[in-house]
Amino acid sequence: MNSTAKPLLLVALGGNALIRAGEEGTIEQQFANLQRPVRQLARLARDHRLILTHGNGPQVGNLLLQQESCHEVPHLPLEILVAQTQGQLGYMIESSLDAAFAAAGLDDPPPLVSLISYVVVDPDDPAFQEPTKPIGPFYPRRPTEDFPVVKTPRGWRRVVASPEPRTVVEKREIRLLVEQGFVVICCGGGGIPVVREVRGFQGVDAVIDKDLAGACLALEVGVEIFLIATDVPGVALDFGGARQRFLRRLGASEARAHLAAGQFAPGSMGPKVEACLRFLQGGGKRALICAVEDIEAALRGEAGTEIIRD
């Protein structure tokens, strides 16, 4: 198949998907967990052009804790920690995928590139006054430290500001790289949050939701299929309760109604559903949410949740 005729698929890998429940999150564990998605992505590269984005919630939160426990060197602002996780996870994904291409026997594997990416946000976004984005580890009890937290089904978690993504600064470069046949790893952790200052950019203390940033990027570069791979099988109603039920297909208007009713938690499934709705509303063809191990099956319609236009 001619490379330009292949559908353009954007896969957003969740940061939590790289650290499984009960794990410490060591680099060895994260590399091992990466094998689940990259083997599938290597096979999908035969018939798709690929853009990969990734979350960084556990990783950036861990970096924040590490620097807060050390007072001998200057502390770094949050946007710099986001940039560090882009490099860290970009390297891990790229090297793992390169090995997966070889294992899959691809005679002419596509070239890979990891791109440090900025995402523009509004300095007056109300999210700066109300942190909602969970990062770092899960705590079994409410932490006593002086930072905002939220209770999740897996425990208490620190939250930081998460402003809306407005545009991806490197969208032109990403589009050109895809056209040249590259698999592009970009917008890691939702991208480095920046605001415009005259002709330049200034970083801000926040973490952008990677799913919303992924939807923004997908529409700006002409993605046809948007897939969010996470640590649960798909979209569920009454998640975590006795009446929990996962959905294979979900109409856009129904999804919007469930979102408004609070069925999908902010900072968790809520942004994933919202990202899919924005992608479809903007002209995208297919939007899916699935477990990391079910990427191929979800694309075949055999797993996960597909959100469809009404």
Annotated active-site positions, please?
Answer: 15-16, 133, 210, 272
**Alpha carbon distance, N-terminus to C-terminus of the chain:** 32
> What is the enclosing helix (H) or strand (E) of 52?
strand 49-54
68 CB-contact burial (10 Å; exposed 0-12 / middle 13-18 / buried 19+):
exposed
CA angle (118, 122, 123) in 5-degree steps:
105
Cα–Cα separations (whole angstroms), residue 284 to 10, 161, 176, 219, 247: 11, 28, 19, 7, 21
Instruction: Output the CA torsion 9→196→129→213 (10° steps).
Output: 0
Q: Is the dihedral of CA 30, 37, 121, 181 positive or negative?
A: positive
What are residue 48's phi and psi, to 5 degrees?
Answer: -135, 150
- Tokens 């949740």, located at residue: 305
> What is the enclosing helix (H) or strand (E) of 137?
strand 133-139
